[in-house]
Amino acid sequence: MSTDQHKIPQATAKRLPLYYRFINNLHHQGKLRVSSKELSEAVKVDSATIRRDFSYFGALGKKGYGYNVEYLLSFFRKTLDQDELTKVALIGVGNLGTAFLHYNFMKNNNTKIEMAFDADKGKVGEEVGGVSVYHIDQLEDMLKNTDVAILTVPSSEAQNITERLVEAGVSGILNFTPARITVPDHVRVHHIDLSVELQSLVYFLKHYPLDEEE
C-alpha cells in the first residue's frame, strides 16, 4: 500500500482529508462540478495551492470546466482508503478521552475507535459511546491488528504507555498529552497540544499586525 508516489509533500498530505470532507459536502448538496476557486473559498486554501495539490495525483480536472464532484469524490475515497477501515485504540478515558469516544470520528471516515483502556477500575467494563473500556493491564492481550492509538492519559504516564503501545505493534500515535514522547523510527507520532494552540493564538494576537496577512 506504501506506493511509489510518496513524493506528495507533507503539507499537501495534511490537506487531503480536508478536501475530502468538503467534496463530500458538495456531493451531498447535489453539486456536479466545482472550481478550485470555489473550493478555495470553502476551505480557505489558496486556489493555486489546491490545483497544485490535486496535480500531484495527475489531471483530476478539466481546463475551462473545473472538477467533476463525483469523480473527485471517488478519487479521494480511493486515495484516503475509505474502504479499508483503520482500527484505533484510545488510552485514557478521562475528560478528553470520553469526548472522543462519544464522537468517534465516524462522520465520513476511514477510522474507528474499537476499544478503550483505562487504569481506573470504576471505568473498566463500561461502554462509552459504544466502545468497551478495558483495564490497561489487558493492553497487550487485547491490542491485535491495531495500528493507531489515541493517547489521552495524564502526561506523566505518556512515555510509559507509549512504550507498551509500540511493543504491542502500534505504528501511529495521536498524542494529546503535553509530553513529547520518544518512539523508534518506524513509529509516527502527531502531537496535538491544545494548550500550545491556545497560547500561540494569543501570541499571534498580541504580536502580529491586526490587519492584512493570514
Ligand X SMILES: NC(=O)c1ccc[n+]([C@@H]2O[C@H](COP(=O)([O-])OP(=O)(O)OC[C@H]3O[C@@H](n4cnc5c(N)ncnc54)[C@H](O)[C@@H]3O)[C@@H](O)[C@H]2O)c1
Q: Which residue has the cell 490497561?
A: 136
CA distances from 50 to 55, 144, 165 (A): 8, 38, 36
Q: How many CB atoms lie within 10 A of CB 104?
A: 18
Does the protein bind DNA through residue 74 (CB under 7 A)?
Answer: no
Q: Indicate the residue among 62 and 104 with the shorter CB distance to a copy of itself.
A: 104
Q: How far apart are CA 22 and CA 27, in angstroms?
A: 9
Q: How far apart are CA 69 and CA 73, in angstroms?
A: 6
From the list 18, 79, 81, 94, which residue makes contact with ligand X (rule: CB under 6 A)?
A: 94
Does the protein bind ligand X through residue 125 (CB under 6 A)?
Answer: no
Q: Indicate the residue among 8 and 194 with the shorter CB distance to DNA.
A: 8
66: DSSP letter: B
Determine the 3-state secondary structure of 53 from DSSP: helix
Binding part of the chain for ligand X, among 5-13, 22-30, 36-44, 117-125 by CB under 6 A, reads 117-125
The burial of 57, by beta-carbon neighbours within 10 Å (0-12 exposed, 13-18 middle, 19 or more buried), is given as middle
User: Side chain identity at 171, as an amino acid letter?
Assistant: S
Is 92 labelled a binding residue? yes
Size of residue set near ligand X by CB under 6 A: 27
Is 97 labelled a binding residue? yes
Binding mask 6-25 vs ligand X (x if CB under 6 A, - otherwise)?
Answer: --------------------
Instruction: Take residue 64 and report the three cell numbers written for it.
Output: 475551462
Binding mask 146-185 vs a copy of itself (x if CB under 8 A, - otherwise)?
Answer: -xx-x--------------------xx-x---x-x-x--x
Does the protein bind ligand X through residue 134 (CB under 6 A)?
Answer: no
The burial of 30, by beta-carbon neighbours within 10 Å (0-12 exposed, 13-18 middle, 19 or more buried), is given as exposed
Does the protein bind ligand X through residue 97 (CB under 6 A)?
Answer: yes
- Please enumerate, by residue number, every residue annotated as part of a binding site: 92-97
| Residues near ligand X, by CB under 6 A | 91-97, 99-100, 102-103, 117-120, 136, 152-155, 157, 161, 176-178, 194-195
- Please enumerate, by residue number, every residue annotated as part of a binding site for NAD(+): 92-97
